[in-house]
Structure 1
Amino acid sequence: MKVNKPELAKQAVDSIENVAGTFQGYRRAHAKGVYCRAVFTPNGNAVPYTTAAHLQDKEVKALVRFSDSSPNPNMVDILSPVKGMSVQFQLPDGDVTNLVSVTVPVFITKTPEAFVEMLRTFGNKSSLRDVVKMFVNYPESRAAFHIMKKMRPFISYSTSHYFPIHAFYFINEKGEQQAVKYEWEPDDNVNIKTKKEAVMHPGDYLDEELENRMAEGPIGFRLNVWLGEKGDSVNDSTVMWPDERKKITLGHLSITNKLEHQADDVVFDPTVMTNGIACTDDPVLHFRRDVYSVSFDRRSKGR
């Protein structure tokens, strides 16, 4: 029986709660995070490809949230290897547009149905045989798990690459579409520690390190995009594009300070676009909108 997307989103959130538990009032993923103020300054390189207001020639303010990926807000930083960086650009007309990224360049499934099945497999404390069967049924998941398996803890939110995973379309003044994939590239060198060294830090060391780092000056990231070519997959978030694709830098994000009073009521819906940018037909991208909505509804009600 086919399940509608809102119902499937509820099942996904239910499965996350079954795996990790329920933490009242918190996000169902990336529960622990820190908000920062920022300014994004475009360099004009995007003008031939998009009319998006924040990618033209004037700087815009932005809200940034760094986070652990775990649904548990008490998770020790070292035990949550995937980190997140969500950016909400505050546009001149009062609207916003979001760019949601993690430290892995691909997603674990290419359909919402496979994602829910995977969550259920792990939540039911399935046998090794069941897990192996899952990878046989969904071989596209191996790339993400292989990358995560090789990941080592890093000691700063400010020194890692972040990937919005999905492809998007830029649209220029002529109405021409250009498929792109984003990347946030840090100004500072990627600084990775071994697990043995990382365990010497306190459980919330990333938050503390971020605050200490910004006391020395702004944290910076360059916003890059790869330009897709004919034949590149735009609707499958488990697939990476070839390394030889043209990459251009669109501007610079300067993160100035941490917000002390953080009302965690912002929904970083990755499908919230502005004129000049459009979503692809990637089913996982559109499914995230429904999942975020269910998660926000539950935490706003104190569940």
Structure 2
Amino acid sequence: MSKFPNGAATPASVVDALKAIADTQPRARASFAQGRCVRGTYAPSDLAKEITKSQSFTKPSRVLARFSADGDNINIPLLRGFSFRLGSNGQRSEVLTQSVPIHFARTLDQMLAFLRARIPGPDGKPNRNKVAAFSASNPETRHQADYIAAHPLPASLAGTTYWGVHAFPATNSKGETRFIKFKVMPVGEEGSHAANQATANATDLLQSDLDSRIAARDLRFSVMALLDRPGDPVMDVTIRWPDEDAREALRLGTIVVTGVEPSEACDEALFNPANLAEGIGHPPDEMFAARRAAYDISQTRCR
């Protein structure tokens, strides 16, 4: 029997379901609980102003960021995350990206049902028949897992490409607004695919590798803006834009990771996607609105 009441989903019930699946400590993050906090710098490109007037992306600043991993079984596929904060003096933006360009649910109700189907039973394992039945009646929730299966993860967090699954309205100094998607690409770190899934899932190995790379030299990531075209779906985060991999993208700037920070620095920050400086607006899809509320709830519980 479900531990949650029936009825419409709420951000709080989704946070509860995430924690029930991950079996994390009460004050731990509901997702992406294992991570490494880092510091660095951001340098904008000359093209950034063409896309947005946001000072977070058009001016140099310090960066606080967090690499993370989430999920370690066939029911919740492994994701990697890269959250970062740019800007200063009241012009800060916090962007959350992940190693897959799509989300596993289109609506909050669908997300809660997806998670509930995977909550472990008395034997500590989810009911496979329940998971299969849900997937069959909600085929779009398989898109993320299918992408992961077709795109093995690199052996390093430093060689991973990270995506923002939402379409953000970006406004430049001329008042022109268009939708963009964030794509964060490693510079000179495109490593080979992981030798096996066990290596890809080993959080300790990933963090150790990241630490050694930071100690050896700076890590660089290009912050890209994928540009929209007329008719692109901006309300459904379970599907990609047509020809997304081949379409035009502009480099907003470069993040240079220069050192490791204590975990407490990022625990205090608890990056919230709602924090965006003027020039980058909130995406219009339902999942972003729910995500904003869920991060507020998770942040309160982590205190």
Task: Give the TM-score category using the shorter length.
Answer: 0.7 to 0.9
- Equivalent residue in structure 1 for 2:87, among 65, 79, 90: 90
AA matched with 2:69: D
CA offsets per residue over residues 174-215 of structure 1, 9 Å max, x none?
Answer: 32211111100101113322217828x976111111111111
- Does residue 102 of the first structure (1) align with residue 70 of the second (2)? no
1: distance between equivalents of 2:104 and 2:291?
13
1: distance between equivalents of 2:174 and 2:84?
28
Name stretches of at least 5 consecutive residues in structure 1 with no aligned partner. Answer: none
Alignment CA distance shift 1:271-1:196 (3 Å): closer
- Equivalent residue in structure 2 for 1:271, among 260, 263, 274: 274
Alignment CA distance shift 1:242-1:153 (3 Å): closer
AA matched with 2:196: K
AA matched with 1:223: V
2: distance between equivalents of 1:196 and 1:235?
32
Q: Which residue of 1 aligns with 2:114?
A: 118
1: distance between equivalents of 2:197 and 2:165?
29
Q: CA deviation at 1:102?
A: 0.6
The worse-fitting range, judged by mean Cα deviation, of 121-130 and 254-263 is 121-130
The TM-score with structure 2 as length reference comes to 0.87
Aligned length, in residue pairs = 288
Q: CA deviation at 1:54?
A: 2.6
Q: Which residue of 1 aligns with 2:300?
A: 297
The TM-score with structure 1 as length reference comes to 0.87
CA offsets per residue over residues 208-230 of structure 1, 9 Å max, x none?
Answer: 11111111111000111111011
Q: CA deviation at 1:59?
A: 1.2
2: distance between equivalents of 1:248 and 1:90?
19
2: distance between equivalents of 1:36 and 1:111?
32
Q: Which residue of 2 aligns with 1:137?
A: 137
Equivalent pair of 1:160/1:191 in contact (CA under 8 Å): no
Alignment CA distance shift 1:112-1:80 (3 Å): closer
Q: CA deviation at 1:166?
A: 0.7
Q: Which residue of 1 aligns with 2:17?
A: 15
Q: Which residue of 2 aligns with 1:149?
A: 149
Equivalent pair of 2:63/2:86 in contact (CA under 8 Å): yes
Alignment CA distance shift 1:150-1:44 (3 Å): same
Q: Which residue of 2 aligns with 1:60?
A: 61
The worse-fitting range, judged by mean Cα deviation, of 150-159 and 247-256 is 150-159
Equivalent pair of 2:69/2:203 in contact (CA under 8 Å): no
AA matched with 1:235: M
Partner SS for 1:123: coil
Equivalent pair of 2:11/2:293 in contact (CA under 8 Å): yes
